[in-house]
Amino acid sequence: MASSNPRGERMAGRRVLITGAGSGLGRELALNYAARGDRVACVDLYADRAEETRRLLSGGGHLALVADVGSDAAMAALKAQIQGAWSGLDVLVNNAGIACGGECAHTSIAEWQRTLNINLMGVVRGVREFVPMMEAQRNGLVINVASFAGLAGAPGLGAYGVSKAAVVAMSEGMRAELLPKGIRVSVLCPSFFKTNLLESFQGTSDAPMKHMAAKLMEKSPIDAADVARYTVEQAERGRFLLLPHKDTRSRWLLKRWLPGMYFKELLKYVAKNSQKAK
């Protein structure tokens, strides 16, 4: 069976599973992989969305499957479906996630738990169910979708940023654990871009933050198709940290080398965009 390998050489006809594939970035990732000749399992919480994505894909052999990444039982059942249909997996994209806004001290425990259960534990469940398949094959690729908020925390995104920072940390550890086993890992950390993530937005003080996020998404120079294309291309090249926004690459360097200056610039950026969002 053709597959990924640790040197980043691409082989055709791989078996690709994408969670949250029913819309937005997940759908665009599915389109990219299908266009490359891969078979894609489009996994979503909603059957109609998964099926709609499947119908849009070029080529054949694609699957539309329903699973809740927040459920142990659902992810175990998904594993059984993939094992039965394909007898293995070559590429796992842990993309499903939700948005949450609010200051740390004013975000309810329920909102913390919901956000962490989907954004972090959803990735954990995907890894636990499917990486052992790749270990048995001695090859594979895992792409975990985090956020730039996971690299550089921002006010008003407490629970969301924490969940994504945990995904980044997990990915770093996985990279070292899995490379000797022939499995590559990439972590995607986009900033705001045009997508439907705000459909899931919740939070104790969600209205102002949601409004600002919507404004930043609208003014983004790239959309989900751009992010997906960049992600697939760079992951194929073996890059670990994927930063599709050019401005976040410079901001990430600034935070690493001049953290004090970065914090001052962050305060200015937040104040500026808060005023524009009003």
Enumerate the active-site residues. 160
Cα gap 258→28, rounded to integer Å: 35
Using CA atoms in the order 115, 202, 242, 233, what is the torsion angle rounded to 10 degrees? 110
Q: Which sign does the torsion angle of CA 188, 194, 230, 225 carry?
A: positive
- The C-alpha angle 254, 260, 261, rounded to 5 degrees, equals 55
Cα–Cα dist 136/155, whole Å: 42
How far, in whole angstroms, is CA 188 from its chain's centroid?
6
Q: Which residues pair with 43 in a beta bridge?
A: 19, 65
